[in-house]
Structure 1
Amino acid sequence: MKIAILGAGALGCAIGSTLTQGGHETWLIDRSPAHVEAMRRDGLQVDDADGSHRVKVHAATQATQVGAVDLVVVLVKSFHTDSAMRGALDLIGPDTLVLSLQNGLGHEDVLADIVGRERVLAGKTYVGGVLRGPGHIQRGVSGKLTYIGELDGQLTLRVKAIAEAFNASGLATGVSDNIIGTMWDKLLINVATGALTGVTRLTYGQLYEEPVLKATALAAVAEAMRVAQAAGIDLSMTDAEQAWNLAAEGLSPAFKTSMLQSLEKGSVTEIDFINGAVVRWGERLGVPTPVNSTLVACIKGVERAMTDRQREGATA
């Protein structure tokens, strides 16, 4: 299978390198010239449970260098989804499928507007990755599940074929007939910790030591669960504590959420597609979401302060 990873950051490289080692022609597409050049020159350095090794990968900064593929796996930051996909239409052939494994909700609608809803698949992954430097990642794949499915819940041959290819490569993947519910399950986990660590700048170990922060996390998750219930979403979780516990499962105390990593790198976050999605759905359904609204406002404030400092530094 010829696969393009659109957005070869930490997670994209973790998944892409695994599929490469599984024998698929996998292209890692990223807008960072330094990152792509390092991968082209030296291969991708992967640190994982088996030690540190280099994986020879295909890497590109432009879709024109790749051409049409069988599958596009979208892993760009949420706010880049529209521009990234519109700039990568050279990847789309007559039978190309587009699979979003991004955090949060709403990417499928963005992608469908560009490539057609009939091409779009949805999914969620618990694979982990940390970008250590250009061409260098820490990969967490072992024991981490990925779920994919059709937007209408049908168990089609095409989605089963992708799952089989992923599984054969060592990327444990299940097919879901309730992928929207699965996406909400993952959203609850992101709601539990992402914004709180972004505001406080705490690692997981620090976050989980503070009872007052746990109480806030549980309140935010409970709001999201009420929104999901009003929307008729079939969740696998029955209480907020499950999301809180699952969020930290298998992670070290030093782990930092992707939201915190974004802020530390000076980048805006995906808050609009996580807690912000809960707020939007709540407004649509008439379900109050004061805790999530407050977390969104706090992160927006942190982002504003960060961009103001960047502007001041640029003009100094």
Structure 2
Amino acid sequence: MKIAILGAGALGCAIGASLTEGGHETWLLDRSPDHVETMRRNGLQVDDANGSRRVAVRATTEASDIGVAELVVVLVKSFHTDAAMRGALSLVGPDTAVLSLQNGLGHEDILADIVGRERVLAGKTYVGGVLRGPGHIESGVAGKATYIGELDGRITPRVQGIAEAFAAAGLMTAISDNIVGTMWDKLLVNVATGALAGITRLTYGQLYDEPLLEATALAAVSEAIAAARAAGVKLSMTDPEQAWALAREGLPAAFKTSMLQSLEKRSITEVDFINGSVVRWGGRFGVPTPVNATLVACIKGIERAIADERIGETAA
């Protein structure tokens, strides 16, 4: 299968490396020239539980280098979804499927407006990754589930084919006939740890050692569960403890959430699509979400401080 990964950050590279090693023509499309050039020159260095290896990947900064793909996997940051997809329309042919594996809610509607709803598949992955430097990632693939599905819940040949291709490449992949519920399940996991780790700057090991933070995480997840129930979403998790436990499963103590990684790179985060989604859905259905609203406000405050620091550096 010819696959284009739109957004070859830590997660995109982790999935792309597995698909490449699984024999698929996999392209890593990323806007960072240094990252892409390093991968072209040296291959992608992948560190995981089995050690360190280099994977000879196809990488580019230009969608036009790739041509039409059978599958486009969207893994750009949430706030870049619209611009990234519009800039990569040369990947889309008559039979191309577009699969979002991004964190949070709402990307499918953005993609549908650009390429047509009939092309769009939704999914969630628990695969982890950390970008250690240009062309170098720490990957957490083993034992981490990925779920994909049609937006209307049908089990179609195309979603079956994609799931089989992923599974054969070592990505534990299942088809969901309730992909909206599956997306909410993953949202609960992100709500449990993402913003808290970003605010406190703690690794997973440190985060899970602090009972006060666990209590806050469980309160945030409880609000998300209440909002989902009010919206009529069918969840597989009904206890906040389940999301809290699942968030750390299989990840090393030194692992950092993507929100913390973004802040350490002095970038804006995806909080609007994660905790912010809980606040929006709560408002829509009359469910109070004060914990998530506070977490959003704190992350926004950190982002503001970073932006002000940059302005000060520029002025100097």
RMSD: 0.8
Using the TM superposition, give the Cα deviation of residue 208 of structure 1 relative to its aligned residue in structure 2, in angstroms. 1.5
Q: Which amino acid letter does the alignment assign opposite residue 270 of structure 2?
A: E
Question: For 1:229-244, what aligned pairs fall within 5 Å after superposition?
Answer: 229-244=229-244
Please, which runs of 5 or more residues in structure 1 have no aligned partner? none
| 1:205 to partner: Cα distance | 1.6
Deviations 1:73-102 (A, max 9, x none): 000000000000010000000010000000
Task: Look up the match of 1:260.
Answer: 260
Counterpart of 1:156 in structure 2 is: 156
Letter in 1 for 2:290: P
Could you say which residue in structure 1 is the equivalent of 2:27?
Answer: 27
Check if 1:145 corresponds to 2:167. no
The residue number in structure 1 matching 2:179 is 179
Paired position in structure 2 for 1:93: 93
Supply the distance in 2 between the matched residues of 1:167 and 1:257 (Cα, whole angstroms).
25
Corresponding residue for 1:217? Answer: 217
1:17 matched residue in structure 2: 17
Aligned to 1:120: 120
% identity of equivalent residues = 77
Between 199-208 and 109-118, the greater mean CA deviation after superposition: 199-208
Q: Tell me the secondary structure at the aligned position of residue 72 of structure 2.
A: strand
| Alpha-carbon distance, 1:207 to partner | 1.4
Supply the distance in 2 between the matched residues of 1:206 and 1:234 (Cα, whole angstroms).
32
Equivalent residue number for residue 67 of structure 2: 67
Match of 2:277 in 1: 277
Q: Once the two structures are superposed, what CA deviation does each residue of 1:122-162 show, in whole Å capped at 9, x if it has no partner? A: 00111111111111111111111111000111111110000
**Residue identity matched to 1:22:** G
Structure 2 distance, partners of 1:257, 1:272, is: 16
Contact conserved, 2:140 with 2:251, CA < 8 A, in 1? no
- Which piece of structure 1 moves more, 109-118 or 211-220? 211-220
Inter-partner Cα distance in structure 1 for 2:27 and 2:202: 34
Contact 2:5 2:26 in 1 (8 A): yes
Letter in 2 for 1:85: M
For residues 198 and 137 of structure 2, the distance between their equivalents in structure 1, rounded to whole angstroms, comes to 22
- Whether the 8 Å CA contact 2:143–2:250 is kept in 1: the answer is no
Instruction: Give runs of ≥4 in structure 1 deviating > 3 Å.
Output: none
In structure 1, the residue matched to 2:315 is 315
CA offset at residue 184 of structure 1? 0.5
Mapped to 2, the partners of 1:206 and 1:46 lie a distance apart of: 25
Residue type of the alignment partner of 2:19: L
Task: Name the amino acid aligned to 1:300.
Answer: K
SS in 2 for 1:232: coil
What is the TM-score of this pair, normalised by structure 2? 0.98
Q: 1:49, CA displacement in angstroms?
A: 2.3
Asked whether the equivalents of residues 130 and 256 of structure 2 are also in contact (C-alpha less than 8 Å), the reply is no
Equivalent residue letter for 1:40: R
Aligned to 2:291: 291
Distance apart, 1:213 and its partner CA: 1.3
SS across alignment from 1:212:
helix
Q: Which runs of 5+ in 2 are unaligned?
A: none
Partner secondary structure for residue 28 of structure 2: strand
CA-CA distance at 1:285 after TM superposition: 1.2
Q: CA deviation at 1:27?
A: 0.3
Which residue is equivalent to 2:200? Answer: 200
